[in-house]
Structure 1
Amino acid sequence: MSVTVSDNAESIWVFGYGSLTWKPGISYSSKHYGYIKGFKRRFWQGNTTHRGTPEQPGRVATLVPDSTTILWGVAYELKGKEQIQAGMENLTNREMRLGGYTTYVIDFYRRESHEYPIPTVVYTATPDSHLWMGPHNSLDQMALQIVTSHGTAGANSDYVTKLADFTRKYIPEETDEHLFLLDKKIRTLLATRHNVHKPSEKMNSKHLRPAKVHSEMVSIEKPFCIAKRISHNDEACDRTVLEPRVEMQRDE
């Protein structure tokens, strides 16, 4: 389905539940936290540009019908012909041409005014999308796929962790167990990969600091004294000289 915006429209609302929440990328006149009814968020849409490649697709959020739930997010109000045109052109390219989404109009309920819903454009994917991936066999495998995928906008893992961080901070009403559990699994994998790739603690020349000079003095026999001692002619020889003791220190 494609939403057509009238040239005479004074304003239009767009609802974000994925990267649009923390990275809208458009100019807008106002921003409101709130929710839509009858949908849940799932990372079932593939992505081969911003968060993945054709060889290693990433996963991004989409809406899945569920009459028992509400989904929190952010709605942006675009006002005036110029702002509406620029914003919708940007989103059409980002969400539809590159993202494989389609558009619907859904009622949005603002946090501060539950009684009066606002018709809002939302971008979502369906199984008809050429990038549709659907559910994974397990959330662990989904997390692994996300951790190993990257696109032009950065790591696929950032897409999920930044969405989770934003939601915790600004939308504490949200109780999306799917999002928060996936976020936890991704962070665990990232921590494990970081520890596996930490430099070895084995001592080598990089671990040695410049020689440390001690104040303690040690006796060292002069080379020419050794020769005189061997020839039994060492009466006038001062066999020792005081030198500072030197040690190489391991860089902890």
Structure 2
Amino acid sequence: MVLWVFGYGSLIWKAGFHYDDRLIGFIKGYHRVFYQGSTDHRGTPEYPGRTVTLEPCDGEVCWGVAYKVSGEEDEQIALTYLEVREKQYDMQEPDASTPAVSGILVQIVHAEGPSGPNRDYVFQLEKALLKLGCEDKHVMELAETVRQKLSGRELTNSQVE
């Protein structure tokens, strides 16, 4: 038996566990959204950051990487590591299906946690996806909007919706 772990967020550029193989791949019927509040890595309980989670979406494809983990010991180490790292992903925020994008933007620009500024997460995800040859429209537009906000340019309503 082998364990396969699909990374669609920070796991793309930082696995954090031993793996035997890494393959570029995708899953059908899902897309990436910044609905997950991060209070332990890219934010704090007082000022949560935003990281990606998956949302079902007919006709969509979510690109990422799949890690092959072999051997009982490596599998157990990887699963234990992922339980700690991904612990918040089973906690959905209330009404997470309709977040206020301008609120998300403010969180991403200002939030910072033990793993660094939330905006760096967005920029690293954008870079990692481009390196895979994937242009995720949602991630690319959000990264550009964050850059504009950081540079002090005014945003129009259409840029934050």
* Pair 62,133 (structure 1): closer, same or farther in 2 beyond 3 Å: farther
* TM, length-normalised to structure 1: 0.57
Unaligned runs of 5+ in 1: 1-9, 103-128, 194-252
Count of equivalent residues: 152
In the alignment, the residues of structure 2 paired with residue 136 and residue 179 of structure 1 have an alpha-carbon distance, to the nearest angstrom, of: 15
Indicate the residue corresponding to 1:80 in structure 2: 71
In the alignment, the residues of structure 2 paired with residue 133 and residue 190 of structure 1 have an alpha-carbon distance, to the nearest angstrom, of: 28
In the alignment, the residues of structure 1 paired with residue 70 and residue 76 of structure 2 have an alpha-carbon distance, to the nearest angstrom, of: 10
Indicate the residue corresponding to 2:139 in structure 1: 179
Indicate the residue corresponding to 1:101 in structure 2: 89
* Pair 130,62 (structure 1): closer, same or farther in 2 beyond 3 Å: closer
Q: Which has the higher contact order (CA 8 A, sep 6+)?
A: 2
Write out aligned runs for 1:5-16 (5 A): 10-16=1-7
Q: Shift of residue 132 of structure 1?
A: 5.7
Indicate the residue corresponding to 2:130 in structure 1: 168
Q: Shift of residue 77 of structure 1?
A: 0.4
In the alignment, the residues of structure 1 paired with residue 51 and residue 94 of structure 2 have an alpha-carbon distance, to the nearest angstrom, of: 10
1:80 counterpart letter in structure 2:
G
Runs of 4+ aligned structure 1 residues displaced above 6 Å come to none
2:138 counterpart letter in structure 1:
H
2:43 counterpart letter in structure 1:
G
Q: 1:137 aligns with which of 91, 100, 111?
A: 100
Partner SS for 1:43: strand
Indicate the residue corresponding to 2:159 in structure 1: none
More helix by share: 2
Write out aligned runs for 1:119-158 (5 A): 129=91, 131=93, 134=96, 135-138=98-101, 140-158=102-120
Identity, % of aligned pairs? 41
1:183 counterpart letter in structure 2:
A
In the alignment, the residues of structure 2 paired with residue 151 and residue 168 of structure 1 have an alpha-carbon distance, to the nearest angstrom, of: 25
In the alignment, the residues of structure 1 paired with residue 19 and residue 147 of structure 2 have an alpha-carbon distance, to the nearest angstrom, of: 32
Indicate the residue corresponding to 2:52 in structure 1: 61
More strand by share: 1
* TM, length-normalised to structure 2: 0.88
Partner SS for 1:52: coil
Indicate the residue corresponding to 1:90 in structure 2: 81
Unaligned runs of 5+ in 2: 154-161
* Aligned alpha-carbon RMSD (Å): 1.7
Indicate the residue corresponding to 2:17 in structure 1: 26
Q: 1:192 aligns with which of 149, 152, 156?
A: 152
Indicate the residue corresponding to 1:6 in structure 2: none
Q: Which structure has the greater CA radius of gyration?
A: 1
Q: Shift of residue 144 of structure 1?
A: 2.0
Question: Are 1:40 and 1:64, in contact at CA under 8 Å, matched by a contact in 2?
Answer: yes
